[in-house]
């Protein structure tokens, strides 16, 4: 029997157990903080990993200790037959969790088949509850459709649904509490993301990133006598970068009042980063904030799985201690979020 391969541990002794898989670099929305105004170049069709290739890579990653996969993009639901990929991944022994990040536009049709195929958890982007503002920030998105998609997801029985909003001063800072109440009243967890300067800072408006402390203050101030307390425990901690809090005080407490903050800019979490990212064309990125990557597609297509494993280990060995987003214009990556999968 072959020896168990050693797990993926990087030079900072971070154990890697989560893989984000971008299944497409295309998107049906054009979020202003994500998609550069001129769009992004797309890989040729034959450069894109097939579902069988993705599943072969995920199987190998699982042998190396990956336990959770998140499907992302671009917008993963625009990749034709995504449900088929979920079925292939679900059949992989040892893969404990399949999660999906989506803008929700196609969820009304896809929530039930995705859940039936094996998606456990869902993150849905929702930056505003105002239809006009939503249309503006998403470059033409349809809030009504996303709300229908969320309602379908609620009926489909996912283990958890999280609502993700990029928090932008002067855009949705006045909606932080509304987004919390919207999510809480449905049993979901709202999360707020500090905007990152991706794409060489092209999509970034300095000064508009709403810092984690301001997000907590807005939620804490929403009720007389209420306070925000840390709440990182429990089974619903999630495997991702968010730190969790709870609004304690008047009103019902517990899971229904939890919220998360992903704060790469003001309270970064690089020391606990446990993930890798696989791009649509089979490049393995060890850090969202840097452009370096290793090619897994060539050795995979050459049928050399030992070389794929060596490339994965090289990527992990080169994982940077942290991003440098704080150095806006100097420190961010050239790649756009839509190219690597947020
Ligand atoms: N299309 C899917 C979605 O909407 O969730 C998956 C991909 S999207 C790139 C993943 C997440 O990244 C979304 O929640 C999006 O709001 C977030 N995002 C995109 N660009 C960002 C940026 N510059 N800073 C922070 N978050 C960003």
> Contacts by 2-5 with C-beta closer than 8 Å and gap 24+?
5/63, 5/64, 5/309
Separation of CA 75 and ligand 1 centre (Å): 9
Report whether 279 contacts 285 (CB < 8 A).
yes
Percent of the chain residues topping a pLDDT of 70: 94
Q: Which helix (H) or strand (E) holds 189?
A: strand 189-194
Least confident of 99-108, 121-130, 140-149, 245-254: 245-254
CB contact set of 297 (below 8 Å; sequence gap of 6+): 47, 49, 53, 281, 282, 283
Measured by CA distance, the residue closest to atom 8 of ligand 1 is 342
Higher pLDDT, 44 or 170: 170
Question: 296: CA distance to ligand 1 center in Å?
Answer: 24
Does the pLDDT value for residue 2 go beyond 80? no
Distance 218 CA to ligand 1 centre (A): 22
| CA-proximal residue: ligand 1, atom 1 (nearest) | 75
Q: Which residue has the tokens 């536009």?
A: 105
Ligand 1 atom 21: the closest Cα is on which residue? 34
Give residue 205's pLDDT.
80
User: pTM here?
Assistant: 0.95
pLDDT score recorded for residue 37:
85
Closest ligand 1 atom, CA of 33?
Answer: 23
Pairing of strands 243-248, 160-167: unpaired
Identify the residue with better confidence: 335 or 279. 279
Contact 72, 125 (CB under 8 A): no
Q: What pLDDT score was predicted for residue 232?
A: 81
Is residue 59 scored above 60 in pLDDT?
yes
Select from 28, 105, 127, 166 the residue to mutate for testing ligand 1; criterion: most ligand atoms less than 8 Å from CB: 166
Between the CA of 297 and the centroid of ligand 1 the distance, in Å, is 25
Pocket of ligand 1 (CB under 6 A): 27, 31, 33-34, 72-73, 75, 101-103, 125, 164, 166, 193, 195-196, 198, 203, 337-338, 341-342
Q: Could you report the per-residue pLDDT of 144-167, keeping only the tens digit for each?
A: 999 999 999 999 999 999 999 999
């Amino acid at each position: 029997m072959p020896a168990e391969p050693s797990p993926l541990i990087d030079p900072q002794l971070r154990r890697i157990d989560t893989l984000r898989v971008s299944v497409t670099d295309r998107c049906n929305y054009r979020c202003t903080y994500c998609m550069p105004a001129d769009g992004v170049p797309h890989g040729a069709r034959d450069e894109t990993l097939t579902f069988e290739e993705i599943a072969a890579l995920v199987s190998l990653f699982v042998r190396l200790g990956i336990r959770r996969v998140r499907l992302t993009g671009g917008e993963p639901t625009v990749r034709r037959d995504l449900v088929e990929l979920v079925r292939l991944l679900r059949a992989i022994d040892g893969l404990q969790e399949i999660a999906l990040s989506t803008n929700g536009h196609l969820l009304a049709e896809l929530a039930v088949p995705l859940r039936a195929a094996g998606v456990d958890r869902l993150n849905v982007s929702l930056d505003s509850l105002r239809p006009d503002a939503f249309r503006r920030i998403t470059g033409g998105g349809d809030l009504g459709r996303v709300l229908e998609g969320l309602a379908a997801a609620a009926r489909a029985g996912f283990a958890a649904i999280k609502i993700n909003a990029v928090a932008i001063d002067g855009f949705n800072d006045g909606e932080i509490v509304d987004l919390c109440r919207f999510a809480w009243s449905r049993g979901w967890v709202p999360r707020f993301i500090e905007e990152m300067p991706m794409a060489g800072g092209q999509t970034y408006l300095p000064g508009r990133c709403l810092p984690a402390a301001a997000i907590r203050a807005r939620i804490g101030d929403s009720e007389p006598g209420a306070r925000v307390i840390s709440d990182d425990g429990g089974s619903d901690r999630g495997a991702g970068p968010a730190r969790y809090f709870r609004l304690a005080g008047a009103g019902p407490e517990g899971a229904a009042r939890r919220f998360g903050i992903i704060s790469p800019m003001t309270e970064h979490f690089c020391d606990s980063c446990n993930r890798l990212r696989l791009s649509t064309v089979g490049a393995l990125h060890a850090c969202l904030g840097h452009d370096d990557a290793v090619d897994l597609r060539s050795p995979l297509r050459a049928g050399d799985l030992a070389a794929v494993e060596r490339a994965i280990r090289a990527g992990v060995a080169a994982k940077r201690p942290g991003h440098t987003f704080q150095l806006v214009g100097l420190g961010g990556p050239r790649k756009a979020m839509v190219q690597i999968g947020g």
